[in-house]
Copies of this chain bind each other. A is one copy, B any other.
Amino acid sequence: MTVKDVFVSAPGKAILHGEHAVVHGKVALAVSLNLRTYLRLKGTTTGNVCINLPNIDTFLCYDLSELKQLIPVSCGKREEGKPLDAELVRKLREFIGVTNGNLDNCNMATLSFLYIYISLFGSSELPSLTVSVWSELPTGAGLGSSAAYSVCLASALLCASGAIPAPLKESDQSARWCQEDLEQINSWAFQGEMIIHGNPSGVDNAVGTWGGMLRFLAGKIIPLSRVPLLRILLTNTKVPRSTKFPSIMTPVLDSVDAISCTCEKILSEMTCEPITGEHYNILEELIDINQHHLNVMGVGHPSLDTLCQVTLTKGLHSKLTGAGGGGCGITLLRPETDSSVVQTTVQDLKDCGFDCWETSIGGPGVQQHSPLSVKEEVLEILNRY
């Protein structure tokens, strides 16, 4: 059996509002970050399963006869949303020589791949194939790179196994799956995340799957139907206070909660009425207020202050995103922000020693692509393997 080729991509994730407050039972808004992970799956006849992860210098091939030994006795197609198959995990860890002290990105990515591959194909015939992945996302920066990888793996392998159809029609550049298929993708991506992270919240794989924006509250994840695409700069500054004084901190968390809810309302308005400058003014104001609150929570950092100041001199508003204490920040670009302003801002931030990407938030989740429609640079990298 030779499986069909599949080309997919999934977005990263940024927290728009509510980081830190979410652990205190407040709303957080997670948005898709249009820095994407691309995965190409090719059916082969080599009798090997190969995985190429050039971002982390990982290039591995396994003989199908070796992998067959790992299929659990009980293996049938596993139901979604179930805990990991402990026997398969144990066998795989032994197979690739993962000990507790050896949980690097390379091992985790391999484990996650083989787990989903064997789980989906173990009950029939293991197919010969090669998976190559390239990501625009920095790893370990809290931007959901592992989830984007797991979502790509899940969608491509589910598609190759025939569990879900390939949505791409001949004339399409890219296509999305129906809601039911996305749920299956998300569920398998969550299994991959469990292998990589142990106890993931499920937010990252949900954003990678559905894209757009998700409302996250007390462990419940609610995808929001429609949100506008917002241009942003994402800056990695490359560099936390305790919540003492509950009487001072508790109301700040309430205010952050209200910021998330107000932001959600504004973004929803922007999808059903004409977008105005006032919408952007409010989004900017919410960013400023939340950045002050995050400073109050003690998760600011001088490098993030620098980010805010540098961008404000260009009339652009920034806040930290994610864990803070250094790390990444997002800067909202307005529709009318001129590309020359964007370019000088990016240069100023690079001059501060930061990495900086012009991208967008609120874009689509996992997609299948026609290889012809994928950016030249991504294709070029993936075609090397």
Q: Provide the bound-state CA to CA distance between A288 and B261, in Å.
A: 26
0 or 1 for each of A279-316: is its CB under 8 Å from B? (1 = yes): 00000001011001101100000000000000000000
The contact of A289 among B250, B259, B262, B296, by CB within 8 Å, is: B296
- Secondary structure dominating the interface of A: helix
Q: Provide the bound-state CA to CA distance between A262 and B247, in Å.
A: 9
Q: Is A255 an interface residue (CB 8 A)?
A: yes
State the interface size on chain A (CB cutoff 8 A): 21
Contact flag A251-B254 (CB < 8 Å), given A292-B293, A292-B295, A296-B289:
yes
0 or 1 for each of A233-267: is its CB under 8 Å from B? (1 = yes): 00000000000010111111111001101100000
CB pair B255–A251 under 8 Å, yes or no, is yes
Contact flag A249-B245 (CB < 8 Å), given A289-B296, A292-B292, A295-B292:
no
Nearest-CB residue, chain B, relative to A245: B262
CB pair B248–A251 under 8 Å, yes or no, is no
The contact of A247 among B247, B250, B253, B258, by CB within 8 Å, is: B258
CB pair B258–A251 under 8 Å, yes or no, is yes
Residues from chain B with Cβ under 8 Å of A250 in the complex: 255
Nearest-CB residue, chain B, relative to A300: B292
The contact of A258 among B245, B261, B262, by CB within 8 Å, is: B245
CB pair A258–B254 under 8 Å, yes or no, is no
Q: Provide the bound-state CA to CA distance between A296 and B287, in Å.
A: 10
The contact of A251 among B251, B261, B288, B292, by CB within 8 Å, is: B251
Report which residue of A250, A259, A293 has the largest number of chain B beta carbons within 10 angstroms of its beta carbon: A293
The contact of A259 among B248, B254, B292, B293, by CB within 8 Å, is: B248
Residues from chain B with Cβ under 8 Å of A255 in the complex: 248-252, 255, 296
Q: Provide the bound-state CA to CA distance between A181 and B262, in Å.
A: 54
Residues from chain B with Cβ under 8 Å of A251 in the complex: 251-255, 258
Residues from chain B with Cβ under 8 Å of A258 in the complex: 245, 247-248, 251
A-B contact pairs, 16 of them (CB 8 A): A245-B262, A248-B255, A248-B258, A248-B259, A248-B262, A250-B255, A251-B251, A251-B255, A251-B258, A252-B252, A254-B254, A288-B296, A289-B296, A292-B292, A292-B293, A293-B296
Closest 4 CB pairs of A and B: A251-B251, A247-B258, A251-B254, A251-B255
Query: Given contacts A245-B262, A249-B255, A251-B258, could you give 11 more A-B pairs where the C-beta distance is less than 8 Å?
Result: A247-B258, A248-B255, A248-B258, A248-B286, A248-B289, A251-B253, A251-B255, A252-B252, A288-B295, A292-B292, A292-B295
